Structure 1
């Protein structure tokens, strides 16, 4: 029972056992009281009131208590046995994981890569896990001891993995530096098109069409410069025989380059998209109207016109207003595209709700 409470506290075996034990104590107390009364009656030759009936009731109470104990153990025999085996094995488990941990620490101490950040971090984590495990008593805190053993195993695996990867870090860092160097050059080349593209946006379209892109050139340049700085740091770290730091810095450089690419592409793609819209303004509107007709037909097919018909009709009127807004020498094509996208998103949401409504019926 104690083992089960220590090993598997979530099973709450003790709480289930409590009423069974209470019935046993009650039956034992009634038995002792009745036998004491019988002894007194025998010594004084006094009659026992309702003796036979009370004796029968006491026998039934004792049998019910015994049956409760049998049922409890039969229903939980395997679990209780398992808890006993686990509790008995915990000290051996701790001994085993400590031995493995000491081997890993010894390997780290003798490794030529012991100064690598991942190895130093692994040693620190394992030392901390061992310290925690040494403070746990497996006899009184089985669950805590098992958790501590698992933590030692995990930290040992982390350190062993760092040691196994260490020999390949130099090659990995060299490859990463070469890759980022190539990507940096490519992003710089692409960034050269940002300025002309932004100027074309200002010349060909309304200022509102590129207002959100005003800072892209400056911010992309900052990203490229930050990536270059990180790459220089990676080269220095690699030269200092610190490939792990080099890998971390190349990862940082990649993040900066990804941000710079997004900023550059946002401008060039905006110019391409607006030119396409200007060539055929009705193309995107036709696509949205087609989706609207599909949604309207779906509402009819599912018998939900009363609920969604007017909502979808309102989107048709909204589309008319959006297309009518393309006026003037420099129409706001970006607002046009944005509003069409909003309508398309709204229609998609209605379609999803219609399908969900039908599926729930």
Structure 2
């Protein structure tokens, strides 16, 4: 190849300069442009990806803490509501108040979580590194708050164990108590039906049973509507009332038979007493003839008193019979009780006149038996007063000494009088024996007390 001539060399150099100039300019331009423009990436670009991932992880952790706290709160709320429904103790009230405070903290932490999540769109392509970092920090803080509240909630739940045990024990009583109440109502209904089948209306029992219907409705509505405590109380009250109705209904046939027996018995007794009352006038006649006025004066009203009582008894028997026919059992029972009281009063009056005559006849024939009976009571009291003592207690000796004197005076009055007051003598002897009995009772009381 021919060597270039100087002309050729100049041309070649010029051409090379022309080619090299654009290349140098391009190289210079490249050095001036940002690397990110060339596709190589900058440090802030690749760190943006890490911040987004951290923020998303923080968001996931916060969401998990939020749901865990929400679940824990629901569980604890169920426990607290059960305690509140069953327990009425100061400890239960404190637990309810503490849970209300914790629930407020839960609400605040949850609200902060929701605000933090809504404040940051981590899926946005426009999310820069700073925003992602802020989102991560806020979500991490919220997550820590949620977990802290849950820890406090868990600790609180642990303190509820004793209250829960008592509440569960009460709840375990609820279903059996309601069942017992319903069974008692069924038993009362069946007993009432059985009584009615025998022709017994039992209207009062039916009314009492009907009055329990609203309570049965509330029992069926359950503790969810009326509370555990009120439901338990209502079940016990219904059970007691229904059992009472059932018992009375079951006894109703026997009650009717008993009233019939008492009606017949009291009618017989009334007629027998009316016949006995006719003997009072002859008794009074003999008393007037043989004894002083003081022996019979207080018996003058006996015939009239007995006749009036018997007349009232007959009227009450008729009222009792009408009440029995109308099945007004309480009225019939009350009327029969009045009849019995009237007959007892008349019987006492009639018997008193006959007993007075007998007692006066006996003491008029031989007063020594009455005197000996009284002296025996006094000697017995005196022996007890001297037991273990060289001298008796004046509290006991004085009334006994007076009683001995009274016996002597009563005997002397009986022996000296032309018309002895035997009734005064008898009442005086009875009074002296009562005095002796009172002294004996006082001595025994002192011995029992160690005096």
TM-score interval, normalised by the smaller of the two chains: 0.5 to 0.7
2:439 aligns with: 350
Residue equivalent to 1:286: 372
Cα distance in 2 for partners of 1:6, 1:342 equals 68
Counterpart in 2 of 1:305?
Answer: 392
Residue by residue over 1:196-229, the C-alpha shift from the partner in whole angstroms, topping out at 9 and shown as x without a partner, is: 1122222222222233333222121112112222
> 1:112 maps to which residue?
196
Q: CA deviation at 1:269?
A: 1.0
2:408 to 317, 320, 324: 320
Question: Using the alignment, how far apart are the partners of 2:424 and 2:85 within structure 1?
Answer: 66
Return closer, same or farther for 1:128/1:282 CA change in 2, 3 Å cut-off.
farther
Q: What is the match of residue 205 of structure 2?
A: 122
Rounded Cα–Cα distance in structure 2 between residues aligned with 1:342 and 1:197? 25
CA displacement at 1:301 relative to structure 2: 1.7
RMSD across aligned positions (CA) = 4.1
1:58 equivalent in structure 2: none
Change (3 A) 1:349 1:138: farther
Determine the C-alpha separation between the residues in 2 that align with 1:5 and 1:263.
Answer: 68
Q: Report the alpha carbon displacement of residue 288 of structure 1 after superposing the two structures with TM.
A: 1.4
SS in 2 for 1:329: coil
Match of 1:101 in 2: 185
How far is 1:286 from its partner? 1.6
The question of whether the paired residues in 2 share the 8 Å contact of 1:173 and 1:243 is answered with: no
Q: TM-score, normalization: structure 1?
A: 0.66
Cα distance in 2 for residues equivalent to 1:167 and 1:85: 42
Shift of 1:305: 0.9
Aligned to 2:421: 332
Equivalenced residue count is 300
Between the aligned partners of 2:375 and 2:301, the Cα distance in structure 1 is 35
Change (3 A) 1:214 1:5: farther
TM-score normalised by the chain length of structure 2: 0.55
1:89 offset after TM fit, Å?
A: 1.7
Decide which of 290, 295, 299 is 1:204's aligned counterpart: 290
- Give, in whole Å, the separation in 2 of the partners of 1:309 and 1:341: 19
Structure (1 or 2) with the larger CA radius of gyration: 2
Tell me which of the two structures has the higher relative contact order, counting C-alpha pairs closer than 8 angstroms and 6 or more residues apart.
1
Checking the alignment, whether the CA contact within 8 Å between 1:129 and 1:151 is kept in structure 2 is no
Q: 2:382, 2:400 within 8 Å by CA — same for their partners in 1?
A: yes
Q: Which runs of 5+ in 2 are unaligned?
A: 1-79, 96-157
- TM-superposed deviation, 1:169: 5.4
Cα distance, 1:354 vs structure 2: 1.4
Maintained 8 Å contact 1:122/1:158: no
Q: Any unmatched runs of 5+ in structure 1? A: 22-68
Q: 1:359 Cα deviation (Å)?
A: 2.7
